Structure 1
Amino acid sequence: MAPVGSKLSFQQLVEAMLYKAHRCTKPSRLNKYSASELDAMEKKLQISLSLIRGVRNLLQPINRLPPELLTLIFRQTQLHLPDFLPIRDLSASGWKWLSLLQVCRHWRGLIASTPELWSILDSGMLPERFLKRSSAVPLRVYLDLKLNYLPEDLLESIASQSIRFRELHLNMNAWQSNATIFHHFKDPAPSLSGLTLVIDGRDITNGHLPQLFSGEMPSLRKLCLKHLTSWPKGYFQNLTHVCLYDQNELTRPSMDEFLDFISSSPFLEELALVRAGPTRMTEGSSHGPPSRIISLPHLRQLDIGAWASASMVARFLSHIRVTSKVDMYIWGDGMLNAPQPDSETPASLASLLPEDISKLENMRPIKKWYFARQPRVILDTPFVSVTGAADIEGRTLHMYGTFNASQVIPTQLLSRYPVSNVESLTVRDSCMDTNGMNILDIEFWRSILQGLPELQKLEILAFRSIGFTRAIVGALMPQHATDAQPRPPLCPKLTSLTIEHDVSLPAYSIRTMIEARAKCVPPAARLEFLRVLVFDPNPQSVRQRRRRLRSMSVSEAGSSIGSHSDSEATGLENEVRTREEEEYRLHTEDDRKLLEGCVEISGEVRFEYGVPLSVGLVPDNWPTAAYNFTRGRRGS
């Protein structure tokens, strides 16, 4: 053993520990060390074991990576939100990356000493620590004062770093102070590129934004404002993304004022106006052709949501010129479903567009049209959109909502919407009233199809829409002139037909229509492809029968044991279900044989089972980010 106080080797430390473990058998040798000396040896042993574990950890393959590369991997585990309309994840999943601090000492030290990993400052997640560890790197700041209380001194510390702000997303609806919150943000923000200000109007006079960052925000490109309708002169120019929503109704801008605003941002790429924008009527502004046109050559997306009337939308659209690349979404009950001020009926969908749409190049060429009258089961907001690339495939028009028949008068729709080049039409109608007052009948569809001479593909999504398929098939049936000679059929280029199997597929009517059309067109123009989507029997009818049988079984059971009645009812339910499915299968098989026997179909007849029905009725990007953000879908 080494003398007391000398430096011990690792082997000597281990030996000392063994002596300590066997002190009962060798007390004489153990007595050579005092308790303090043994404690010192134990501490050194622990340090040595820690060093061994550290070296072993560094030998792991991932820890052999350069620290810079490992840091990049860590950054990929963080939640990255868009700098425009960021929808925050308020659950713990947004901060799971912090668990990396618990993996090992090497990772903990690397993370703690990397300022970029602490550059997302959130009022709900240790803002003091993030502010300190972020050092001097640019900051993305999320301050939700509605959910998280911040002392004024901490808010002042954060605001004092405005020179580092890259983004600021501030929800100040619940700010509690005698002074306005804006006095904290008085220093310039030269690097600020994204700004979101959500406020309910408290401490705001006439919707006017007080001075912010001394007006020095030269890099600002993306802006989202709630409630605010005006700001100091010179603010908010050269923007690329703008979202205004829930503006003060009394101080919303006039058309000229709003056109001045957007004209100051010639590179505007995205514009969202939700219950906001030039919706304040001014005398004489709605009469005659527009005297001022603003060109937006860089615009890529336009959202107009929940305006007071369709005529206001049309008036605004008449003042702008956009390219064929703009995706446009117009939604809201007030302008699409609610009665208009001068009428007891909702506005026509045609009134959303100005009479002259030549400046709206995104409205042509429309090659696909989706028209769906759908109850509020999946989506609760009606909308009209024009999306897609203006190339060979062309643009796509979507109309989705609980539209009244008076809103979709064919002559009005065809006069405003340029659908004469539509090659693909998908229709869905499940809003027919039982009293027959809201039905889109044969004459309606005949008028619509008459305006689609280039139509090649038709999809009828008729599941649970009794009579819908018959109406369209009837419209496609050739009519006879006075000399008994058949007229040229509507949509002479139609070669593909898809039909959802509704409660009763009108197979005989479909075959009769196909045979009649075949007599009026050359062989090359006959129907090439017929596709029928088959699903289960009508679930509503089956459920009603089961409930009726169950009630009958229970009443007839009388004094029988309840469990026996339930078992008997279950057996009856299974019997009904089996019979119903068998009848449906037999009818479907008969329909398939009838249609396959139609020699006038030059191509394939296909019955497909188990295919999801009535899909693809909305654009891929619906609902849009502006729709979700302004609806409050941020978890807050």
Structure 2
Amino acid sequence: MESNNLHAAWDHYMENTSRPGDLYPPPIPCLPMEILILIFIYVKRDTPVYLIDSILHSLARVSRKWRGIILGTPSLWTTICDVPHAEKLIARSGALPLQIVRTAEHGLGLLEYTSLVSSHIQRWDSCEIRGLTSERDETLSLSQNPAPALQSLAISIYHNDGSIAFDADRYTSYMITFMVTAPRLRELTLNGVSIPWDSALFASLTSLHLGYVEYWGPDSVCLLLGALRASTCLEYLCIEKLEVAMWFESADVIKLPVQLAHLQLLHIKQLQWLQHDLLPYIIIPPSSQLE
């Protein structure tokens, strides 16, 4: 009997006494708001862009505190994908710079998406657009609008099967008529999109990726060298599957060397003509990597 009373008394004591778990509560709920925001920012940074929205909403369901912090932090909502509720994401981003990402896989059609984000083009920091060949004109029309804060632009045109579509400079209606409307642009990626070699955009670029274009104009190699010569700040250069009609080169054209003093990486993909017609005229620092 005394033993039973002792056990009952002990159980009552333990139920009404702080245990070690109570003395040391879980650390996450006790973190300051500033630390939680940093954690959420790191989560966003390491998440594929098309999953950022769903990940943030999942985190917001953990607790009222987390929900309030996540919904009240504009920097978490600056990546605007082509999801059906993209308008809500823009509203949550406040007045911060935007990362525009169109994947062509998440519901909004191109015209609906571009009409939504174009009204905020003054805030674009980066823009990555994937378009189908049937949407080429609508996709390239984005480049006609002034984007004073834009620093990175990537446009790729695809077939319905997911392969990149070739463009050709002879199809002048498809060429991007780049004007000096993006003075801060530093990174340019174009796949299946041709660009005039005399575009003023080359002068300020630090990163350039050109691919999947057929150049049929005369002296194409010399014009390409001229564009690279204007890109004095280049640190990264990738040339992929450019088809150049070299038999149109004028016999009396002298190819002048191009010095890319700041280049760190030169990436060449699937260019059989490059070894003899381009590389001998490009001078890069000894420390540069050639892939």
Match of 1:485 in 2: none
Give runs of aligned pairs for residues 344-363 of structure 1, distance below 5 A.
Answer: none
Whole-angstrom distance in 1 between the partners of 2:188 and 2:82: 20
Q: 1:265: Cα distance to partner?
A: 1.4
Distance verdict in 2 for CA 1:159–1:316, change over 3 Å: same
Structure 1 gaps, min length 5: 1-55, 82-87, 330-636
Q: How many residues align structurally?
A: 258
Distance verdict in 2 for CA 1:89–1:162, change over 3 Å: closer
Distance verdict in 2 for CA 1:120–1:89, change over 3 Å: closer
Q: 1:193: Cα distance to partner?
A: 0.9
DSSP 3-state at the match of 1:215: coil
Q: 1:271: Cα distance to partner?
A: 0.7
Whole-angstrom distance in 1 between the partners of 2:218 and 2:267: 17
Which of these residues, 272, 282, 289, is aligned with residue 320 of structure 1? Answer: 282
Q: 1:67: Cα distance to partner?
A: 2.1
Distance verdict in 2 for CA 1:267–1:237, change over 3 Å: same
- Once the two structures are superposed, what CA deviation does each residue of 1:400-436 show, in whole Å capped at 9, x if it has no partner? xxxxxxxxxxxxxxxxxxxxxxxxxxxxxxxxxxxxx
Match of 2:70 in 1: 111
Percentage of identical aligned residues? 22
Contact 2:148–2:181 under 8 Å retained in 1: yes
DSSP 3-state at the match of 1:237: helix
Contact 1:229–1:252 under 8 Å retained in 2: no
Distance verdict in 2 for CA 1:167–1:277, change over 3 Å: farther
Match of 2:270 in 1: 306
Q: 1:166: Cα distance to partner?
A: 0.8
DSSP 3-state at the match of 1:71: helix
- Once the two structures are superposed, what CA deviation does each residue of 1:372-416 show, in whole Å capped at 9, x if it has no partner? xxxxxxxxxxxxxxxxxxxxxxxxxxxxxxxxxxxxxxxxxxxxx
Match of 1:220 in 2: 185
Give runs of aligned pairs for residues 237-386 of structure 1, distance below 5 A.
Answer: 237-251=203-217, 254-276=220-242, 280-281=246-247, 282-284=249-251, 291-307=255-271, 309=272, 311-329=273-291
Whole-angstrom distance in 2 between the partners of 1:174 and 1:131: 28
Match of 1:188 in 2: 146
- By relative contact order (CA 8 Å, sep 6+), the higher-ranking structure is 2
Contact 1:253–1:277 under 8 Å retained in 2: no
Whole-angstrom distance in 2 between the partners of 1:65 and 1:219: 38
Q: 1:99: Cα distance to partner?
A: 1.4
Contact 2:266–2:288 under 8 Å retained in 1: yes
Q: 1:71: Cα distance to partner?
A: 0.7
Match of 1:35 in 2: none
Q: 1:269: Cα distance to partner?
A: 0.7
Distance verdict in 2 for CA 1:118–1:157, change over 3 Å: same
DSSP 3-state at the match of 1:145: coil
Match of 1:160 in 2: 119
Contact 1:146–1:175 under 8 Å retained in 2: no
Q: 1:175: Cα distance to partner?
A: 5.3
DSSP 3-state at the match of 2:209: strand
Please give the TM-score of this superposition, normalised by the length of structure 2.
0.76
Q: 1:315: Cα distance to partner?
A: 2.5
Give runs of aligned pairs for residues 194-205 of structure 1, distance below 5 A.
Answer: 194-199=152-157, 200=165, 205=171
Distance verdict in 2 for CA 1:252–1:234, change over 3 Å: same
Q: 1:153: Cα distance to partner?
A: 4.2
Give runs of aligned pairs for residues 507-546 of structure 1, distance below 5 A.
Answer: none
Q: 1:185: Cα distance to partner?
A: 5.4
Match of 2:130 in 1: 171
Amino acid at match of 1:110: I
DSSP 3-state at the match of 2:172: coil
DSSP 3-state at the match of 1:230: coil
Amino acid at match of 1:270: Y
Distance verdict in 2 for CA 1:285–1:160, change over 3 Å: farther
Amino acid at match of 2:266: L
Distance verdict in 2 for CA 1:94–1:146, change over 3 Å: closer
Give runs of aligned pairs for residues 1-16 of structure 1, distance below 5 A.
Answer: none
Amino acid at match of 2:256: R
Contact 1:206–1:248 under 8 Å retained in 2: no
Please give the TM-score of this superposition, normalised by the length of structure 1.
0.37
Whole-angstrom distance in 2 between the partners of 1:107 and 1:305: 46
Match of 1:120 in 2: 79
Amino acid at match of 1:210: I
Distance verdict in 2 for CA 1:248–1:278, change over 3 Å: closer
Q: 1:318: Cα distance to partner?
A: 1.1
Contact 2:258–2:281 under 8 Å retained in 1: yes
Amino acid at match of 1:142: V
- Once the two structures are superposed, what CA deviation does each residue of 1:281-307 show, in whole Å capped at 9, x if it has no partner? 413379xxx751111111111111111
Q: Note the aligned Cα RMSD (angstroms).
A: 3.3
- Once the two structures are superposed, what CA deviation does each residue of 1:349-392 show, in whole Å capped at 9, x if it has no partner? xxxxxxxxxxxxxxxxxxxxxxxxxxxxxxxxxxxxxxxxxxxx
